């Protein structure tokens, strides 16, 4: 303690400015007022301490209030986000409700349509049952057979007109021809007995002989008139086949484009793109199939394409023969197959079958 006082005295002695300032700030108190002044200082010290404590307490309370305020703001932000989500959910539920109403109305309409169709099916089933009952009766079968006989008689009459329009005859001698009725018939399907087909060169259509030799061996020395006669004969055959198919209501597998001696035959399978074989059949037929035309004449055409056209024409005749239950005479007998087709349709067996 004494050392401190000595050091203080030394400081006061060595620092004149501070000594002067201390002398200026020194307040002299009378001894009688010392107790009062001491009490006043003590009260001021106590008040300062209480003020500091209050300040600390207020600071802590203010800090807690600030923290509570921040938490409240965070809660308000979260609440606002939840409110926005709720509004979005309400909008979504309203849209879903609208869609449900529309779907319900559509379902009701579909149910009404289905019930109508079911009623129609029930009525149709009743009508079909009645028709089957009438058909199973003796009178119904007889009526159906009579209608079929009338239809076949009508077809027979129409095709007989075709045979008169394009008569197919057997060439017996240089100036003699045998009529259609005297030609021996081939067998029906399932009957192995069949007569030997007549040579292609011994048959004529409307007086023209169909020679297939130019279609296989075309050269510079080939008779142009013979080629023209063969093309005309093929045009006659194509027209006759087209008429017979329409009367029998048979869609030809290889459609014809008639043009007299410049007729064509179409083939679907020849134009299918092989690269599309990995696709489905429906897609291939709808997107990649185009009609390939083959000429039924030789003038200015490839012999291979013309020969293939004659082959397809014979296939159409075979299709008609198979439709009425008659065997074909072979792939190289166009006129013979046509003659057999005309003879079979005009026979009495065609009406009775």
Could you tell me if 169 and 141 are in contact, meaning their C-beta atoms sit under 8 angstroms apart?
A: no
Q: What is the mean pLDDT of residues 252-262?
A: 91
Residue 168: closest CA among 199, 209, 196:
209
Residue 249 DSSP code: T
Residue 25 has pLDDT above 70, yes or no: no
Q: What is the residue-wise DSSP string for 86-140?
A: HHHHHHHHHHHHHHHHHHHHHHHHHHHHHHHHHHHHHHHHHHHHHHHHHHHSHHH
332 against 20, higher pLDDT: 332
Q: Tokens representing 191?
A: 């009957």
CA distances from 255 to 35, 97, 281, 309 (A): 141, 57, 21, 11
- pLDDT value of residue 98: 92
The strands making up 203-205's β-sheet, listed across from edge to edge, are 177-178, 168-171, 203-205, 208-209
- pLDDT value of residue 275: 45
- pLDDT tens by residue, 99-152: 999 999 999 999 999 999 999 999 999 988 887 777 776 666 777 788 888 888
Neighbours of 214 (CB within 10 A): 20
Q: What is the mean pLDDT of residues 17-40?
A: 69
192 against 207, higher pLDDT: 207
- pLDDT value of residue 84: 94
Residue 261 DSSP code: G
Supply the mean pLDDT for the chain.
Answer: 78
What is the domain partition of the chain in residue ranges?
65-136, 142-352
- According to CATH, the topology of domain 142-352 is Actin-binding Protein, T-fimbrin; domain 1 (1.10.418)
Q: What is the residue-wise DSSP string for 279-346?
A: S-HHHHHHHT---EEEES--TTS-HHHHHHHHHHHHHHHHHHHHHTTB----TT-HHHHHHHHHHHHH
Q: What is the mean pLDDT of residues 297-309?
A: 81
139 against 91, higher pLDDT: 91
- pLDDT value of residue 195: 46
Is residue 203 very low, low, confident or very high in pLDDT (cuts 50, 70, 90)?
A: confident
Q: What is the mean pLDDT of residues 27-35?
A: 72
11 against 259, higher pLDDT: 259
Is residue 18 very low, low, confident or very high in pLDDT (cuts 50, 70, 90)?
A: low
Is residue 277 very low, low, confident or very high in pLDDT (cuts 50, 70, 90)?
A: very low
- pLDDT value of residue 24: 61
CA distances from 8 to 2, 27, 294 (A): 10, 19, 136
- pLDDT value of residue 212: 66
Q: Whole-model pTM?
A: 0.53
Assign 3-state DSSP to the chain and report helix, strand, coil percentages, each to 5. 70, 5, 25
212 against 282, higher pLDDT: 212
Residue 230 has pLDDT above 50, yes or no: yes
Residue 284 has pLDDT above 50, yes or no: no
């Amino acid at each position: 303690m004494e050392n401190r006082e000595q050091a203080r005295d030394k400081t006061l002695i060595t620092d004149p400015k501070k000594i002067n300032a201390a002398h200026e700030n020194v307040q002299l108190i009378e001894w009688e007022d010392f107790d009062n002044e001491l009490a006043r200082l003590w009260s001021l010290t106590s008040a300062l301490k209480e003020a500091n404590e209050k300040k600390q307490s207020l600071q802590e309370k203010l800090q807690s209030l600030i923290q509570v305020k921040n938490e409240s703001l965070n809660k308000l932000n979260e609440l606002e986000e939840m409110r926005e989500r709720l509004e979005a959910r309400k909008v979504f539920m309203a849209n879903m409700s609208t869609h449900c109403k529309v779907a319900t109305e559509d379902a009701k309409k579909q149910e009404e349509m289905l019930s109508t169709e079911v009623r129609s099916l029930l009525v149709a089933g009743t009508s079909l049952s009645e028709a089957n009952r009438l058909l199973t009766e003796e009178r119904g079968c007889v009526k159906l057979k009579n209608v079929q006989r009338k239809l076949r008689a009508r077809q027979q009459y129409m095709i007989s007109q075709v045979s008169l329009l394009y008569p197919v005859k057997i060439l017996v001698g240089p100036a003699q021809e045998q009529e259609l009725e005297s030609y021996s018939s081939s067998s029906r399907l399932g009957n192995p007995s069949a007569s030997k087909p007549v040579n292609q060169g011994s048959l004529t259509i409307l007086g023209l002989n169909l020679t297939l030799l130019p279609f296989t061996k075309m050269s510079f020395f080939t008779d142009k008139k013979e080629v023209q006669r063969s093309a005309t004969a093929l045009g006659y055959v194509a027209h006759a086949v087209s008429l017979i198919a329409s009367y029998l209501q048979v869609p030809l597998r290889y459609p014809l484009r008639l043009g007299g001696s410049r007729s064509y035959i179409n083939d679907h399978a020849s134009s299918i793109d092989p690269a599309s074989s990995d696709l489905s059949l429906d897609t291939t037929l709808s997107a990649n199939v185009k009609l390939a035309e083959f000429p039924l004449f030789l003038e200015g055409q490839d012999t291979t394409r013309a020969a293939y056209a004659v082959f397809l024409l014979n296939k159409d005749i075979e299709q008609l023969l198979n439709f009425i239950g008659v065997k074909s005479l072979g792939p190289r007998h166009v006129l013979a197959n046509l003659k057999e087709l005309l003879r079979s349709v005009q026979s009495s067996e065609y009406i009775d079958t």
